[in-house]
Amino acid sequence: MSQVEELKSELTEKLGSDIQIKTEFGDDVLEISKDKVFEATEHFKSTGRYDFLMDVCSVDRQEREKRFDVVYHFYSSKDNRRLRMKAQLGENEKIKSITPIWKGANWFEREAYDMMGIQFEGHPYLKRLLTHHEFVGHPLRKDYDSNRQQHCSKAADLHFEDDETYVPDPNKDLIPLNIGPSHPATHGTLRIMAQLDGETIHRSNVELGFLHRCFEKMAETHEYNQIIPYTDRLNYCSAPMNNVGFCKTVERMLGVEIPPKAQAIRIILCELSRVIDHIVCIGANAVDLGALTSFFYLFNMRERVYSLFEKLCGARLTVSMTRVGGMANNPPEGWFDDVLETVATLRKGVDEIDRMLTNNKIWIERTKGVGGISSEEAIAFGFTGPCLRATGVNLDLRKANPYYGYDQLDFDVPYGTSGDVYDRYLVRIEEMKQSLKIVEQVAKNVPGGDFSIRDKDIVLPEKKDVYGNIEGLMNHFMLVIKGLQPPVGDIYDATEAANGELGFYLVSDGSKRPYRLKVRPPCFAIYQSFTQLINGGLLSDVISILGSLNVIAGELDR
C-alpha cells in the first residue's frame, strides 16, 4: 500500500468515508467537511502523525457557492511528509478554531479573520491582527479593491487580550508601559504593551501590522516575474532567499528543474544571505544590549557581501536576481573568485565576533537563561529555524528535504539545548561558519552550462536574440503578452530561510497572475510566543529576547 492509501484508510476509519485524499504536485491533499476539521486535527496531534502545524490560511473562491477554502498545512518531521487539509466554508458560516489543540494556530486564524473574515468559533481573541483598528472590510477578499486605502485617525490605545475594559492608570495599580512602534529596541515597527510590577513584567501584549504593506494582495495583481521584487522586501535582511523560495515554488508547479549552474548560484546567494541575516540579528541584539563595537565590526562584514551582490546585479539590498526558470544573468567574470576571497574575510570576521562575545561576561549574563523555551512548546508554536534548533530539535530543511543538491555538500546543522537567548546566539554563530563552508564548496566547483532554462513559454529570450533575430523577438513578444502561465491547482513549497521555514502557498487558476499567494513567514509563528517568553521576567530581558528572535517586520506583517 502506498503512503497515500495508508493515510486514506487510517483517516476513513477515524473520520468516516466522506473525505477525499489525493496527491497534487506531489503533496498529499485532504478535503474534508468543515465540521470534521477539529477532529482530524486532534487525531494528527494525539497520534503524532504530523508534529508541526505550519500554516492556516484561506482562499476566496468568489464564484463558488461555499465561498471560502480554509487551508491547513501540516508537516511531519519524522518522515518529512506534508499534508494540506482543505475545508469549504460559506459566507456566514463558522468553523471551529483549532487553537485548543495547537496554540500556534492563534495568529494564523486571526490573520485569516482579518484578511478574509473567516469566523473561527472558540478562538480566544478573534480581533484584527494586521490592518489597523479602524479598518472596515476584509482586504484579501476578491471584491476588495487593492488600491482602496482607509485612513487611521489615531493609534490604538494600550490594550490586553484578556482584559477588554482596561484603562491605563499608573496611580491605581501596576505601571502601564508602552514600547514602540518607534523605539530603538523594537526595530522600528513592533509595539509591545506591558504592565509592570516594579521591574517585572506582570502581563504584556503585542501589536503588529505596522508594516503591513499588502504583499499578498500585490501578488494577486502582478504577474509571476513581477512578484519577485516584492518578495525581496519580505525579509529584507536576506532578500535573495525569498526570491529563491518563491521561484522554487513556481518552478515546482511548472514541473521544471533549473540548470546546475543556476542551482549553484542560488545556493551561494542563499548562504551568503544567511550569513548577513545572522550578522544583522546578532549585531542588532548586541547593540540593544549596549555593545556598540560589534555593530561596527559586523556591519563592515556585511558591506563586503553587499559589494558582491552589487557586482552581480547592481543592487545591494533588494537584488531580485532570480527568475522563474533560473537566474537573471550570468555573474560577471571573476565573481566566483571574489566570492571565495570574501568568504575568507568573513570567516575571520565571524571568529572575531565569536571571540568578542561568546566568552564575554556581560553578554553571557544578559543572555544565558533568558527567554528559554522547551522544544515541545516551541514546536507547538510552530518554531522553525535557529530558534527551534536552539531548543535541541535537529530540523533543517536543507537536510530533511534537500533541494539544489544540498545533500551533496558537507555541512553540519548545529543545535542547542536550553533554547535561551545565548543558545540562539551560539546556533547562529555556528550556522554562519557552516554557511561559509557551503559557499566555499560550491564556489570552488561551479558547474558550467546555462544559468537559466530556455523554455520559450517560461523564460524571456536573451537580449541578443530579441534584437538579433525575428524568432527571439516573437518569443519575447508572446511571453510578455501572454505571461507565464502555470497549470491550475495549488502547491505549498518551503525552503530553509535564515529565520526558519519560509513557505509559499500558491493557488493558480491558470492565468498569468497568481489567484492567491500566501506566505508562511518563519518569524510570524515564532513571535507568537513572545508574550509568554517575557511575562514574569525583567523588563531589561524583553530587549534581549526580542533581539534574539530576529523578528523582521517585512515578513512578519507582509
Partner 1 sequence: MSTVPTVTRDLHAESEDLLTTAAYTTRFDKLVAWGRKNSLWPLPYGTACCGIELMSVMGPKYDLARFGAEVVRFSPRQSDLLVVAGTITEKMAPVLVHIYEQMLEPKYVLSMGACASSGGFYRAYHVLQGIDKVIPVDVYVPGCPPTPEAVLDGVMLLQKMIESNQPRPWKDNWKGPTQ
R_g of the chain computed on alpha carbons: 24
Q: What CA–CA distance (Å, rounded) separates 431 from 279?
A: 11
Q: Which is nearer to ligand SF4, 188 or 405 (CB)?
A: 188
Count CA within 13 A, CB hemisphere, residue 178.
Answer: 14
CA distance 83 to 60: 20
Counting residues that bind partner 1 (by CB under 8 A) gives 52
Contact of residue 143 among ligand SF4, partner 1, none (CB under 5-8 Å per partner type) = none
Please report, as residue ranges, which positions from 299 to 328 form the binding site for partner 1 (by CB under 8 A): 299-300, 302-303, 306, 316-318
Considering beta carbons, is residue 438 or 498 the nearer one to partner 1? 498
| Residue 172 interacts with, from ligand SF4, partner 1, none (CB under 5-8 Å by kind) | none
Q: How many helices (H) and strands (E) does the chain have?
A: 20, 15
Closest residue to bound ligand SF4 by CB: 233
Question: Grid coordinates in use for 505?
Answer: 502557498
The angle at the Cα of 89, spanning 83 to 95, to the nearest 5 degrees, equals 80
Cα separation, 138 vs 157, in Å, equals 22
Q: Where are the beta strands (DSSP E) in 421-539?
A: 489-497, 500-508, 516-520
Rounded to a whole number of angstroms, the minimum distance from the CB of residue 133 to partner 1 is 8
Q: Which does 16 bind (CB under 5 to 8 A by kind): partner 1, ligand SF4, none?
A: none
**Span 290-319, contacts to ligand SF4 by CB under 6 A:** 318
Question: Binder to partner 1 among 126, 244, 262, 280 (CB under 8 A)?
Answer: 280
Alpha carbon distance 463, 468 (integer Å)? 8
Cα(307)–Cα(304) distance, rounded to whole angstroms?
5
Q: Tell me the closest approach of the beta carbon of residue 365 to ligand SF4, in angstroms.
A: 36
For 416, the grid coordinates are: 542547542
Residue 352, classed as helix, strand or coil, is helix
User: Between 86 and 233, whose beta carbon lies closer to ligand SF4?
Assistant: 233
Of residues 8, 34, 123, 233, which one binds ligand SF4 by CB under 6 A? 233
Is the N-terminal amide bond of 414 cis, ω within 30° of 0? Answer: no
Region near partner 1 per CB under 8 A, out of 36-44, 105-113, 294-302, 531-539: 294-302
> C-beta of 312: minimal distance to partner 1 in Å?
15
Contact 159, 193 (CB under 8 A): yes
Rounded to a whole number of angstroms, the minimum distance from the CB of residue 233 to ligand SF4 is 5
Give the torsion sign (CA, 414, 418, 420, 422).
Answer: negative
Identity (one letter) of the amino acid at 214? C
**Taking the complex as a whole, how short is the minimal distance between the CB of residue 155 and partner 1, in angstroms?**
5
Of 172-201, binders to partner 1 (CB under 8 A) are 181-184, 187-189
Minimum CB distance to partner 1, residue 188 (Å): 5
Closest by CA position to 424, among listed 398, 389, 377 = 389
One of 209, 245, 386, 547 touching partner 1 (CB under 8 A): 209
Residue 390: contacted member of ligand SF4, partner 1, none (CB under 5 to 8 Å, by partner type): none
- Name every residue whose Cβ is closer than 8 Å to that of residue 468 and which is 6 or more positions away in sequence: none
Q: Which does 62 bind (CB under 5 to 8 A by kind): partner 1, ligand SF4, none?
A: none
CB-based contacts of 498, cutoff 8 Å, min separation 6: 235, 237, 238, 241, 273, 274, 277, 278, 385, 386, 550
The answer to whether 72 and 17 have CB atoms below 8 angstroms apart is no
Among 132, 368, 456, 512, binds partner 1 (CB under 8 A): 132
Closer residue to partner 1 in complex, CB, 389/558: 558
Q: Please state the three-class secondary structure of 391-402 as a single string.
A: CCCCCCHHHHCC
- Give residue 500's identity as a one-letter amino acid code: G
Nearer CB in complex with ligand SF4: 229/489: 229
CB 219, min distance to partner 1, A: 11
Report the residue from 13, 145, 164, 410 that binds partner 1 according to the rule CB under 8 A: 145
CB nearer partner 1, residue 187 or residue 398:
187
**Based on CB atoms, which residue is closest to ligand SF4, 122 or 188?**
188
**Positions in the binding site for partner 1 (CB under 8 A):** 130-132, 135, 139, 144-155, 181-184, 187-189, 209-214, 217-218, 229-230, 232-233, 236-237, 239, 280, 295-296, 299-300, 302-303, 306, 316-318, 553-554
**Positions in the binding site for ligand SF4 (CB under 6 A):** 233, 318
